[in-house]
Amino acid sequence: MSRERAEPQRVTWDSGIEIQPVYGPEDVAGGEPPGAPGEYPFTRGIHPLMYRQRPWTIRQYSGFGTAAETHERFLYLIEHGNTGLNVAFDLPTQCGLDSDDPMADGEVGRVGMAVDSLQDMEEAFAGIDLNRITVSLTINGAAIPIIAMYFAMAEKRGFELRELRGTAQNDILKEFVGRGTWIYPVEPSVRLVGDTLEWCAEHAPHYNPVSVCGYHIRESGATPAQEMAYALAIASAYVEHVRGRGLEVDAVARGISFNFDIFGDLWEEVAKFRAGRRLWARIVKERFGATDPRAMQLRMIAGGGGAGLTVQQPLNNVVRGAYYALTSALAGTQTMALCSYDEAYTIPSEKAARLSLRTMQILMNEIGACDTVDPLAGSYFVEATTRAMEEKIQEILAGVEAEGGIVRAVAEGRVQAAVNRQAYERQRRVERGEVKKVGVNCFVESEDEPDVDFHPYRREQAEAQVARLRRLRETRDAGAVERALARLRGDARAARNVMPAALEAVRAYATVGELCGALRAELGTWDEPVRF
């Protein structure tokens, strides 16, 4: 009795790459060999020995309530093994509003730390060695005052800015695409990013004033190929902008790092990162003429994405996080962060945050992820799909350039529309069961009680923050504040670099809302063009 052989199930990645059941030598014939780690174009990683020499930095995302509460969580994370800090700011701070602004009511400290002035920054980082624990500031529209406050705080504590290391997200173009905390129109916003790149290249050369953030573009619905393509296009736009100011490409490109998302297919993510490193190295060298290999390196934080987590069966997110961490290590990240298992519900509890830390530490110390560099290199499957991913990313980049470049595409809403369409189509595929999601559309439980401790919103903490801000306004030198803000408005009007004026203003304890208000008065605001 004969039995018919079933046809293999068709597998297509979100990026549109069809995966074959078996790969062999013919699939990599004629392709570029992966090369050596630490050598151009860095397909196998940006350092020769990678984790054998230095494991990835563990930088969990954290921040809530007041600066005092966040300071306690920072110390807790450091005590339990965090080797870097990744700061969450509340929505008013992100949108350039003070805590007593009527628009901030109900949001002060809710999804991040409330920062109104330099005194909050001083309290948040009191006693933390900024040379040992590097800090990433997840701030975009209000990046100018927040970066200035961080530098002013570091100076007051005796740290040398020329030696200070750290990162600010400060990627405003992705805000227009993926998150929405913009303040000013697109082109003036890019100019402000350029101001931070220019100022840091001269005064804080080891600091990364921009972390280009494909992460939030992917969280908004983009495919992995779109995430990488738009991130590379955005980074290129920033480099192009500051080249127009006469800055050396090598100095500027060294100030740009990247933040990427991980969820979904492990192999698609690995291909995305290997292809992205190769493409960025070529862009910086061949398009912009860089000569310093360090400027060609795609340095990144990559970790588990919130969009991969589920409200249903939240403990499954513990397992997802472990796989995301493994993916990040195999992909060659420099810094890792994981969303905690309860983040689909709430701000992470200490228990959940500690478990995310332990997940990364187990991977680092027990599983062998640090044993050898790029263990996947040479795999027929990995090398063939890296090439296919590179071609897909290049196709998207070419489309952006054909439409006038990423800045124009964002200003006209075309990138947003492409991401929105992709998000809609993927959600439909989930609903139809074509994209499997355990606990959501397969292996569903009839009763799903979350094992989650909800983080309470404490209005009394918000009221204390407002009272603290009002006391500050009563005790500071009002004349010094007004003079500094007048200088800031004048520099913005004349298209001068606003960082020196911003530093003067924050040292006088001008607030985030006051600085952003001064810039808003000169630069205007932006209304999003809605497309679909």
Q: Spell out the SS3 assignment of 140-154.
A: CCCHHHHHHHHHHHH
DSSP reduced 3-state for 341: coil
Residues 101-132 have pLDDT tens digits of 999 999 999 999 999 999 999 999 999 999 99
Output the pLDDT for position 1: 39
Nearest to 331 by CA among 257, 274, 378: 274
Residue 531 pLDDT class (50, 70, 90 cuts) = low
526 vs 215, higher pLDDT? 215
Please state, in angstroms and rounded to a whole number, the distance separating the CA atoms of residues 96 and 415. Answer: 25
Strand order across the beta sheet in which 61-62 lies:
61-62, 84-88, 134-138, 166-168, 207-208
Residues 159-181 have pLDDT tens digits of 999 999 999 999 999 999 988 89
Long-range contacts of 463-467 (CB under 8 A, 24+ apart): 464/66, 465/66, 465/99, 465/108, 465/109, 465/114, 465/116, 466/99, 466/100, 466/108
CATH fold of the domain at 12-401+427-432:
TIM Barrel (3.20.20)
Please state, in angstroms and rounded to a whole number, the distance separating the CA atoms of residues 24 and 384. Answer: 9
Q: What average pLDDT does this structure show over 372-382?
A: 97
Residues 26-72 have pLDDT tens digits of 999 988 889 999 999 999 999 999 999 999 999 998 999 999 999 99
Nearest to 343 by CA among 377, 309, 379: 309
- Burial level of 324, CB count in 10 A (0-12/13-18/19+)? buried
Nearest to 488 by CA among 508, 503, 467, 507: 503
Please state, in angstroms and rounded to a whole number, the distance separating the CA atoms of residues 246 and 227. Answer: 29
Write down the pTM of the prediction.
0.95
The number of beta carbons lying within 10 Å of the beta carbon of residue 419 is 22
